């Protein structure tokens, strides 16, 4: 079944890491780990950005030229047809319509078509033509000329599918502190279209989907109580804000309830699609809820333990699963997620795929071994205070 695994997905599958994609982060992403543990592999275009690896910058491992090159971005190496097509920022809508060259391969516009109506009369008519607008750089560098994620899978004809691209349908609420982006009809239409097209490929013997964790509990958000007691100014705010100047900068209780209900509908659909496709299902929402409440023990084969990892970025003496953006997993976090998928696959198909060593992942995770206290940096250093001020104005 793992003779030719294929991947669609988003930043989690591509290995986005606070806040960029590069070879080392792509190599620890969960589809790569699971495929390797199953004795197989996936191929992908290697990225060198865009944007920045916060950890490297804050630790002084990425200087001026490194920062400039990373912000611009590019490819470290490329493949003709990637079997791993997961792209940062993607959802089931972009899986169907966004390629490395066009934001929407189905988009059209009207243009003049000049022609000779008679031998003496040159005129025009309006015709529909493709309207190919350039996509974001992650799609440009990740997919290049291979088509949309769906078109890539139709060409690859995978035997096993990593098929989850649901998170951004609801994660947008946490990142924007708004519920305006929620669109249940679009989500249902496009996930069902995606799975229908996948089933029609004919080569897929199995796969795995997973539920979306509670996005209002991620480290990116933190509780805020307005000191003036203003209506709608208290709730969940982005961690980098020192205060709230507008209700749009927080998620209030009503908005959190709306998000929770939407998340439930998404996860119910993920479960239904797993059943319909005959796929394994990993309940990452349950995993994340448990991590948030109890942490996860890290322990070496000899018995040594650095403690329980929490659902946050690492701090001195406190392991964590997130990178410094508070949204995406670090190297250790991907190992944890990969193991949950492996458990689900083994349970569904009767396999005995060995798990990833979470202790080894923690041991080689530079952020866990040498943590950066981002909150302290943003509040206690002049440069950090300047960054917070700039973000507060423009975000």
Give bridge partners of residue 20 from the DSSP assignment: 17
Location of each CATH 3.40.50.1110 domain in the chain: 5-100+135-394
Domain 5-100+135-394 has CATH 3.40.50.1110: yes
Confidence of residue 272 (pLDDT cuts 50, 70, 90): very high
Please state, in angstroms and rounded to a whole number, the distance separating the CA atoms of residues 143 and 49.
14
Paired tokens of 309: 């990892």
DSSP string covering 321-371: SB-TTSSSB-HHHHHHHHHHHHHHHHHHH---PPPP-HHHHHHT-HHHHS-
Q: Above pLDDT 90, what percent of the chain?
A: 91
Please state, in angstroms and rounded to a whole number, the distance separating the CA atoms of residues 260 and 235.
15
Confidence of residue 395 (pLDDT cuts 50, 70, 90): very low
pLDDT tens across 71-83, in order? 999 999 999 999 9
Please state, in angstroms and rounded to a whole number, the distance separating the CA atoms of residues 228 and 191.
44
Mean pLDDT of the region 169-181: 97
Q: Is the pLDDT of residue 390 over 60?
A: no
Q: So what's the pLDDT on residue 376?
A: 78
Q: Is the pLDDT of residue 373 over 90?
A: no
Q: So what's the pLDDT on residue 381?
A: 74
Q: So what's the pLDDT on residue 389?
A: 58
Q: Is the pLDDT of residue 326 over 90?
A: yes
Q: So what's the pLDDT on residue 392?
A: 55
């Amino acid at each position: 079944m793992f003779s030719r695994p294929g991947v669609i997905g988003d930043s989690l599958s591509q290995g986005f890491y606070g806040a960029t994609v590069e070879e080392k982060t792509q190599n620890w992403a969960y589809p790569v780990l699971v495929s390797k543990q199953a004795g197989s592999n996936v191929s992908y275009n290697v990225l060198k950005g865009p944007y920045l690896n916060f950890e490297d910058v804050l630790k002084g491992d990425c200087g001026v030229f490194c920062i400039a090159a990373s912000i611009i971005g590019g490819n470290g190496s490329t493949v003709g047809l990637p079997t791993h097509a997961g792209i940062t920022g993607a959802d089931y809508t972009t899986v169907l319509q966004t390629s490395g060259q066009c934001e929407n391969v189905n988009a059209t516009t009207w243009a003049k078509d000049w022609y000779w109506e008679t031998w003496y009369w040159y005129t025009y008519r309006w015709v529909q033509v493709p309207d190919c607008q350039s996509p974001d750089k992650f799609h440009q560098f990740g997919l290049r000329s291979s088509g949309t994620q769906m078109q890539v899978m139709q060409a690859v004809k995978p035997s096993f599918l990593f098929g989850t691209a649901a998170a951004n349908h609801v994660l947008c609420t946490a990142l924007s502190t708004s519920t305006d982006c929620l669109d249940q009809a679009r989500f249902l239409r496009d996930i069902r279209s995606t799975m229908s097209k996948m089933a029609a490929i004919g080569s897929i013997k199995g796969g795995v989907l997973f539920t979306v964790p509670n996005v209002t509990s991620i480290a990116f958000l933190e509780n805020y109580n307005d000191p003036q007691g203003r209506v709608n100014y208290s709730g969940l705010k982005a961690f980098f804000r020192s205060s709230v100047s507008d209700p749009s900068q927080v998620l209030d209780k009503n908005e959190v309830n709306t998000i929770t209900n939407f998340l439930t509908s998404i996860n119910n659909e993920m479960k239904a699609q797993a059943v319909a496709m005959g796929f394994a299902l990993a309940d990452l929402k349950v995993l994340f809820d448990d991590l948030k409440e109890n942490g996860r023990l890290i322990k070496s084969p000899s018995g040594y333990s650095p403690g329980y990892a929490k659902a946050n970025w690492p701090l001195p003496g406190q392991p964590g699963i997130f990178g410094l953006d508070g949204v995406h997993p670090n190297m250790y976090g991907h190992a944890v997620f990969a193991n949950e998928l492996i458990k689900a696959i083994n349970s569904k198909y009767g396999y005995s795929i060995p798990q990833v060593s979470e202790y080894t992942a923690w041991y080689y995770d530079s952020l866990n071994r040498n943590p950066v206290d981002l909150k302290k940096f943003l509040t206690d250093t002049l440069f950090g205070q300047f960054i917070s001020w700039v973000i507060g104005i423009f975000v």
